Structure 1
Amino acid sequence: MDRLQDLLKNADQSGAAPVERWNPPYCGDIGLAIARDGSWHYQGSRIPRPALVKLFARVLRRDEDGRYFLVTPVEKVDVAVADVPFIAVEMEASGAGRGQSLLFRTNVDDVVRCGADHPLRFVAEGRDGGLKPYVHVRGRLDALVTRALVYDLVDLACEGPDGSGLGIWSEGVFFPLPDV
Structure 2
Amino acid sequence: MDPIRPDLPDLSQSSLADIARLLADRKLPPVEKWNPAHCGDSDMRIAADGTWFYRGTPLGRPAMMKLFATVLRREPDGSFVLVTPAEKLSITVEDAPFIAVEVTSEGEGEQRTLAFRTNVDDLVIAGPDNPLRLTRAPDGSPRPYLHVRAGLEALVNRPTFYQLADWALDCDPPGLWSKGAWFAFAD
Q: Same fold (TM over 0.5)?
A: yes
C-alpha contact (below 8 Å) 2:31/2:73 kept by paired residues? yes
Q: 2:161 aligns with which of 147, 150, 156?
A: 150
Following superposition, the deviation at residue 158 of structure 1 comes to 5.0
Following superposition, the deviation at residue 172 of structure 1 comes to 1.3
Residue 132, structure 1, aligned to residue 143, structure 2: yes
Corresponding residue for 2:65?
53
Secondary structure of residue in 1 paired with 2:115 = strand
Secondary structure of residue in 1 paired with 2:116 = strand
Instruction: Give the TM-score of the pair, scaled to structure 1.
Output: 0.90
Corresponding residue for 1:172?
180
- CA RMSD in angstroms comes to 1.7
Higher mean alpha-carbon deviation, 100-109 vs 2-11, is at: 2-11
Post-superposition Cα deviations, 1:92-114, rounded to whole Å, max 9, x if no partner, equal: 01111111110000011000110
Identity %: 46
Secondary structure of residue in 2 paired with 1:174 = strand
Instruction: Give the TM-score of the pair, scaled to structure 2.
Output: 0.87
- The number of aligned residues is 175
Q: More strand by proportion, 1 or 2?
A: 1
Higher mean alpha-carbon deviation, 55-64 vs 30-39, is at: 30-39
Distance 1:12 1:119 in 2: 19
Q: Which runs of 5+ in 1 are unaligned?
A: none
> What letter matches 1:113 in structure 2?
I
Higher mean alpha-carbon deviation, 65-74 vs 165-174, is at: 165-174
Q: Which runs of 5+ in 2 are unaligned?
A: 1-11
Secondary structure of residue in 2 paired with 1:136 = strand
Q: 1:69 aligns with which of 53, 61, 81?
A: 81
Higher mean alpha-carbon deviation, 136-145 vs 169-178, is at: 169-178
Corresponding residue for 1:35?
47
Distance 1:69 1:134 in 2: 20
> What letter matches 2:168 in structure 1?
A
Secondary structure of residue in 2 paired with 1:109 = coil
